[in-house]
Amino acid sequence: MAFIIGFLLLSFIVHFIALIPFINILYHAKLQRQNQKTTDAFDVPTPIFDSFHGKKSGTPLGGGMLVIAVTTLLFFISFPILYYFWIPIHSVYNNVGSEIKVLLFTFVSFGAIGLYDDVRKVFFAGNQKFYGLRLRHKLILQIFLSLIAAYYLYSELHIHIINVPFIGVWDVGILYILFASFVILSFANAFNISDGLDGLSCGILMIALTAFWVISHSILDTPLSVFISIWLGGVIAFLYFNIFPARIFLGDVGALSFGATFAVIGLLLGKPFSLLVVGGLYVLEILTSLLQLLSKKYRGKKLFEVAPFHLLWQKKGWNESTIVFRAWIFSVLLATLGLWFAFMK
């Protein structure tokens, strides 16, 4: 446990030091937030969002690039350190290599889609009809990557059951691939939608990852414990610069990667129900956005005054920091409830 905590502290220090010059690099590269033609994750114009956040134009985005790169590097370095000090490496799947592969594949590949989207939004906004990637193109790429990650989980780690507290364990066989890919795809976009207020998405993630960290340590899964600790250290360091007023944003490169990887960790832990509870605020964010979109499309009118959920409270006059801090409080409660479900026999 001491080494796991040590990796978190090391990760925080390295990320914190690296973020200071990285922010300046993003300024020089002009990879900064643009408000022209701003749309949400469903390619729907968001004038209300722009009215609240227009002043944030020019803030560097792409912080997710640094977190992905540094976390991946430290994750690779951690194993020689564990071997050097004769620390045993346990995996509940008896296949450490495949567990690492599915984690890093999701972490990096979804980040690549997000980076491409960010670059198109910033540097080619005036030369294209759509702001960034079109929804259909982005979803096709995400579905493809989600299916690959889900196939890894099923074929190499032999995960094919779904554990639902108070109901039992369901063996769904090969249908697990469809289930897992849907979960990964949903959380990737849910995280992206929630990344709308300074410190909101990463603050929730910090709390949720802490809950998953407890679960991974309880089942003695070394790769997951080490990865979560290193990633958590990076998220905390990033959050220091991301809370209101934010000096840097994740960008889609971080949002898509973080959401998809969070889902994969929940699936690797064998706790999909706890994943829904611990990540309950992400679920609420994407549900309100989806219901709003469907209502406008099929009913011709809005279901909510504005969506997603966090924007509704901002429209009602709540201060941005108030919304974020209260979301963190509810996230702590949901993480605690998720842990309770996780440890239910």
pLDDT of 124 higher than 50: yes
CA distance 296 to 305: 11
Work out the mean pLDDT of the chain and round it to a whole number. 90
CA distance 35 to 51: 10
Q: Is 45 helix (H, G, I), strand (E, B) or coil?
A: strand
Predicted local distance difference test score (pLDDT) of residue 35: 61
Widest pairwise Cα distance in the chain: 64
pLDDT tens-digit readout, 316-327: 889 999 999 999
Please give the angle made by the CA atoms of 56, 60 and 62, to the nearest 5 degrees: 125
| DSSP character at residue 212 | H
pLDDT tens-digit readout, 248-300: 999 999 999 999 999 999 999 999 999 999 999 999 999 999 999 999 888 88
Domain chopping of the chain, boundaries: 2-270
The answer on whether 192 is annotated among ligand-binding residues is: yes
The answer on whether 189 is annotated among ligand-binding residues is: no
pLDDT tens-digit readout, 32-65: 877 655 555 445 555 555 555 556 778 999 999 9
Predicted local distance difference test score (pLDDT) of residue 175: 97
pLDDT tens-digit readout, 219-252: 889 999 999 999 999 999 999 999 999 999 999 9
Q: What is the pTM of this model?
A: 0.92
pLDDT of 170 higher than 80: yes
Mean pLDDT of 148-168: 91
Give the pLDDT band of residue 198 (cuts 50, 70, 90). very high
